[in-house]
Amino acid sequence: MMRKSVAFLYNQKVAPYVFVLPFVLTFLIFFIYPVITTVQMSFQDILPGMVNNVGFKNYERLLGDRIFRTAVSNSILYTLWTLLLLIPFPLVFACMLNSRSMIARGFFKTSLFLPVVTSVVVAGTIFRLMFGEVNGSLMNTIRMFFGLGPIKWLRVRETGFAAMVLMACWRWTGVNMLYFLSGLKGVPPEMYESAEIDGANAWQKFRHISVPLVKPTIIYVLTISIYAGLAMFTESYMLWAGNNSPKNIGLTIVGYLYRQGWEQNRMGYASAVGLVLLVVAMAINLVQLRLTGVLGRERD
Amino acid sequence: MKRLAALVLVFAMVFVLALGGLASANPTKLTLWTFIHQHARFYQVMTEKWNELNPDRQVELEATVLPYDDMHNKLQIALQSGVGAPDMCDVEISRFPNFLQGVPQLMVLNDAFAPYVDDIVPSRLGIYSKDGNMYGAPTHVGATVAFYYVDILEDAGVDYRDIKTWDDFAEAGRKLKAVHPDKYMGIAETSAGWTITAMLAQQGSDLVSSDDQPQIDTPEMLRAVTVLQNMVAEGIITTCPDGQPDTEGGKGFLDQGNVAGVIMPQWFMSRYLDEIPSMNGKVAIAPVPVFEEGMPRSLGLGGTGTVVTLTASDQDLASAWLAYAKLSEEGNRMIWEDLGFDPCNTALWTETAMTHNPDNAYNQYFLNNVFDVLNEVKDEIVMIRSSSISPTINNYVTTVMLNELFEDMLDPAEVLEDAQYNIESQIF
Amino acid sequence: MEFYSRRNYSLVARIVMVAFFSILSLIVFMPFYAILLASFKPGEELIRYGLNLRFDWDLMSLANYRYLFTGITRTGAYIAHDYLLWFKNSVVLTVVQTVLTLLVSAWVGYGFAMYRFRGKNFLFTCVLLVLMIPFEILMLPMYSQASSMGLLDSIWGIMLPYLAHATTIFFFRQFLTSIPKDIVDAGRVDGASEYGIFFRVVVPLMKPAFSAMAILVGMNSWNNFLWPMLVLRSGQKYTLAIGLNTLLTPYGNNYDILIAGSCFSIIPVVILFLSAQKYFIDGMTMGSVKG
Is B112 within 8 Å of B136 (Cβ atoms)?
no
CA distance from start to end of chain C: 23
Q: Residues B28-45: what's their mean pLDDT? A: 92
pLDDT at residue A84, as a whole number: 95
Count Cβ–Cβ pairs < 8 Å, chain A vs chain C. 313
Task: Report chain C's C-alpha Rg in angstroms.
Answer: 24
pLDDT at residue C77, as a whole number: 81
pLDDT at residue B232, as a whole number: 97
On whether any CB of chain A is under 8 Å from the CB of C143, the answer is no
**Total length of chain B:** 428
Q: Which of chain A's residues have a Cβ under 8 Å away from the Cβ of C266?
A: 117-118, 122
Q: Which of chain C's residues have a Cβ under 8 Å away from the Cβ of A154?
A: none
Name the minimum distance, in Å, from the CA of A184 to any CA of chain C: 7
C-alpha C109/C-alpha B16 separation (Å) is 54
Beta bridge partners of B184: B259
Q: Are residues C176 and C236 in the same domain?
A: yes
Cα–Cα distances (Å) from B377 to B168, B265, B299, B322, B374, in that order, read 19, 13, 9, 29, 5
pLDDT at residue B291, as a whole number: 97
pLDDT at residue B17, as a whole number: 47
- CB nearest to C25's CB, from A111, A179, A298: A111
Q: Are residues C43 and C22 in the same domain?
A: yes
Give the pairing of strands B88-92 and B59-65: unpaired
Give the pairing of strands A50-53 and B28-34: unpaired
pLDDT at residue A298, as a whole number: 41
**Boundary-marking domain end, from C70, C93, C121:** C70
Say which residue, B25 or B68, is predicted with more confidence. Answer: B68
- What count of other Cβ atoms lies within 10 Å of the Cβ of residue C67? 22
Q: What is the rounded average pLDDT for all residues in chain C?
A: 84
C-alpha B321/C-alpha A82 separation (Å) is 55
Across the interface, whether the CB atoms of B81 and C245 are under 8 A apart is answered no
Full residue range of the structural domain in which residue C215 is found: 83-246
Name the minimum distance, in Å, from the CA of B399 to any CA of chain A: 5
Q: Is the dihedral of CA C128, C133, C136, C142 positive or negative?
A: negative
Say which residue, B305 or C53, is predicted with more confidence. Answer: B305
Whether C28 maps to a domain, the answer reads: yes
Cβ-based neighbours of A277, under 8 Å, separated by 6 or more: A230, A231, A253, A254, A257, C134, C137
- Output the domain CATH number for residue C115: 1.10.3720.10
Q: Residues B413-425: what's their mean pLDDT? A: 96
SS3 B261: strand
pLDDT at residue B18, as a whole number: 47
- CB nearest to A263's CB, from B69, B404, B408: B69
C-alpha B7/C-alpha C78 separation (Å) is 58
Q: Are residues C63 and C168 in the same domain?
A: no
Q: Which of chain C's residues have a Cβ under 8 Å away from the Cβ of A204?
A: none
Is C270 within 8 Å of C263 (Cβ atoms)?
no
Name the minimum distance, in Å, from the CA of A246 to any CA of chain B: 5
Is B269 within 8 Å of B339 (Cβ atoms)?
no
Q: Residues B188-217: what's their mean pLDDT? A: 95
- Which residue, among B228, B242, B303, has the nearest Cα to B275 in the 3D structure? B242
Give me the residue spans of the domains in chain B. 2-141+303-350, 144-300+371-424
Letter for the amino acid at A45? D
Helix ranges, B82-207 (H): 96-100, 110-113, 122-126, 150-155, 166-179, 194-202
Is B149 within 8 Å of B260 (Cβ atoms)?
yes
Q: Are residues C201 and C152 in the same domain?
A: yes
* Closest A-chain CA to C262: A122
ipTM, interface predicted TM-score of the complex: 0.84
On whether any CB of chain A is under 8 Å from the CB of C32, the answer is yes
Does the pLDDT at position B22 exceed 60?
no
Does the pLDDT at position B251 exceed 50?
yes
On whether any CB of chain A is under 8 Å from the CB of B102, the answer is yes
Exposed/middle/buried for residue C193 (C-beta within 10 Å: 0-12, 13-18, 19+): middle
Cβ-based neighbours of C10, under 8 Å, separated by 6 or more: A101, C3, C4
Across the interface, whether the CB atoms of C47 and B252 are under 8 A apart is answered yes
On whether any CB of chain B is under 8 Å from the CB of C251, the answer is yes
Does the pLDDT at position C291 exceed 60?
no
Q: Are residues C138 and C230 in the same domain?
A: yes
CATH topology assigned to domain B144-300+371-424? D-Maltodextrin-Binding Protein; domain 2 (3.40.190)
Q: Are residues C145 and C237 in the same domain?
A: yes
Q: Residues C213-232: what's their mean pLDDT? A: 85
Q: Which of chain B's residues have a Cβ under 8 Å away from the Cβ of A267?
A: 80
Q: Which of chain B's residues have a Cβ under 8 Å away from the Cβ of C147?
A: 77-78, 81, 83-84
Across the interface, whether the CB atoms of C152 and B83 are under 8 A apart is answered yes
Q: What is the CA angle B64-B69-B71, rounded to 5?
A: 30
- Which residue, among B138, B146, B132, B201, has the nearest Cα to B383 in the 3D structure? B201
- CB nearest to A152's CB, from B191, B400, B407: B407
Q: Are residues C35 and C137 in the same domain?
A: no
Q: Are residues C28 and C119 in the same domain?
A: no
On whether any CB of chain A is under 8 Å from the CB of B76, the answer is yes
Q: Which of chain C's residues have a Cβ under 8 Å away from the Cβ of B252?
A: 44, 47-48
Report residue C7's pLDDT band, with 50, 70 and 90 as the boundaries. Answer: very low
- CB nearest to A246's CB, from B77, B98, B403: B403
Report residue C250's pLDDT band, with 50, 70 and 90 as the boundaries. Answer: low
C-alpha B52/C-alpha B184 separation (Å) is 50
* Closest B-chain CA to C226: B70
C-alpha A118/C-alpha C95 separation (Å) is 18
Q: What is the CA angle B211-B215-B219, rounded to 5?
A: 125
pLDDT at residue A2, as a whole number: 56
Across the interface, whether the CB atoms of B67 and C248 are under 8 A apart is answered yes
Its pTM stands at 0.88
C-alpha A253/C-alpha A257 separation (Å) is 6
Q: What is the rounded average pLDDT for all residues in chain A?
A: 87
Q: Are residues C65 and C121 in the same domain?
A: no
Whether C131 maps to a domain, the answer reads: yes
Across the interface, whether the CB atoms of B403 and A132 are under 8 A apart is answered no
Is A241 within 8 Å of A128 (Cβ atoms)?
yes
Q: What is the rounded average pLDDT for all residues in chain B?
A: 91
Across the interface, whether the CB atoms of B392 and A264 are under 8 A apart is answered yes
Across the interface, whether the CB atoms of A50 and B102 are under 8 A apart is answered yes
pLDDT at residue C75, as a whole number: 81
Cα–Cα distances (Å) from C104 to B156, C107, C116, C160, C163, in that order, read 73, 5, 20, 11, 6
Q: Are residues C87 and C161 in the same domain?
A: yes
On whether any CB of chain B is under 8 Å from the CB of C5, the answer is no
Q: Residues C175-198: what's their mean pLDDT? A: 85
The residues of chain A scoring below 70 in pLDDT are: 1-6, 292-300
pLDDT at residue A21, as a whole number: 94
On whether any CB of chain A is under 8 Å from the CB of B69, the answer is yes
Is B144 within 8 Å of B302 (Cβ atoms)?
no
**Total length of chain C:** 291
What is the 8-class DSSP label of residue A150?
Answer: P
* Closest C-chain CA to B65: C235
Beta bridge partners of B145: B264
Q: Which of chain C's residues have a Cβ under 8 Å away from the Cβ of A89?
A: none
On whether any CB of chain A is under 8 Å from the CB of C132, the answer is yes
Q: Are residues C29 and C164 in the same domain?
A: no
C-alpha A253/C-alpha A279 separation (Å) is 13
Longest dimension (CA), chain C: 75
Each residue's pLDDT tens digit, B6-19: 555 555 555 544 44
Across the interface, whether the CB atoms of A136 and C142 are under 8 A apart is answered no
Percent of chain C's residues with pLDDT above 90: 26
**Helix A157-185, helix A66-86: angle, nearest 10:** 40
pLDDT at residue B7, as a whole number: 54
C-alpha A130/C-alpha A139 separation (Å) is 6
Each residue's pLDDT tens digit, B92-120: 998 999 999 889 999 999 999 999 999 89
Please state which CATH class domain B2-141+303-350 belongs to: alpha beta
Q: Which of chain A's residues have a Cβ under 8 Å away from the Cβ of B241?
A: 132-134
Report residue C285's pLDDT band, with 50, 70 and 90 as the boundaries. Answer: low
Across the interface, whether the CB atoms of C251 and B70 are under 8 A apart is answered no
Q: Residues C197-225: what's their mean pLDDT? A: 85
Q: Are residues C109 and C211 in the same domain?
A: yes
Same fold, B2-141+303-350 and B144-300+371-424: yes
Query: Number of folded domains in chain C?
Result: 2
C-alpha B82/C-alpha A85 separation (Å) is 46
pLDDT at residue C256, as a whole number: 83
C-alpha A143/C-alpha A141 separation (Å) is 5
On whether any CB of chain B is under 8 Å from the CB of C144, the answer is yes
Beta bridge partners of B133: B130
C-alpha B264/C-alpha B279 separation (Å) is 16
Q: Residues C54-75: what's their mean pLDDT? A: 86
Across the interface, whether the CB atoms of A192 and C5 are under 8 A apart is answered yes
Say which residue, A121 or B173, is predicted with more confidence. Answer: B173
Each residue's pLDDT tens digit, B228-237: 999 999 999 9
On whether any CB of chain A is under 8 Å from the CB of B399, the answer is yes
Q: What domains are there in chain A, each with its CATH number?
A: 52-292 (1.10.3720.10)
Mutate to test the interface with B, among A57, A59, A67 (most CBs of B within 10 A): A67
Whether C268 maps to a domain, the answer reads: no
Q: Which of chain C's residues have a Cβ under 8 Å away from the Cβ of B69?
A: none
Does the pLDDT at position B152 exceed 80?
yes
- Which residue, among B142, B98, B144, B104, has the nearest Cα to B121 in the 3D structure? B142
